[in-house]
Amino acid sequence: MSNPGDGGDIIIKGGSVELDFDDTMYTKDLLEPRRHKNSDLKITRVVIDGDITFDSGEVKEGLSCTITTTCE
């Protein structure tokens, strides 16, 4: 696990997942098209709403949450 501020990953595991990106803000990486990035911005806040606030562990029936990031 990376230290906060080291630019660690946000990892989502499980069944169905839907992610929306603002393509004008986070462009697709040409070498790795599943990745979106913006080298000029850094995440300054992450808010998680729904069934989970930090680490839910294993939940077989799944969870529902919205992750909102604020960048500068």
Question: What is the residue range of 46's domain?
Answer: 21-54+64-72
Provide the whole-model pTM: 0.56
Mean pLDDT to the nearest integer, 40-59: 81
Nearest to 42 by CA among 25, 54, 30: 25
Residue 70's pLDDT is what?
86
For the chain, what is the domain count?
Answer: 1
Residue 8's pLDDT is what?
63
Cα(30)–Cα(59) distance, rounded to whole angstroms?
35
Domain assignment present for residue 14? The answer is no
Domain assignment present for residue 68? The answer is yes
Contacts of 7 (CB under 8 A, 6+ apart): 42
Identify the sign of the CA torsion 65, 14, 71, 35: negative
Domain assignment present for residue 40? The answer is yes
Domain assignment present for residue 25? The answer is yes
How would you class 36 by CB atoms within 10 Å of its CB: exposed for 0-12, middle for 13-18, buried for 19 or more? middle
Domain assignment present for residue 35? The answer is yes
Residue 1's pLDDT is what?
44
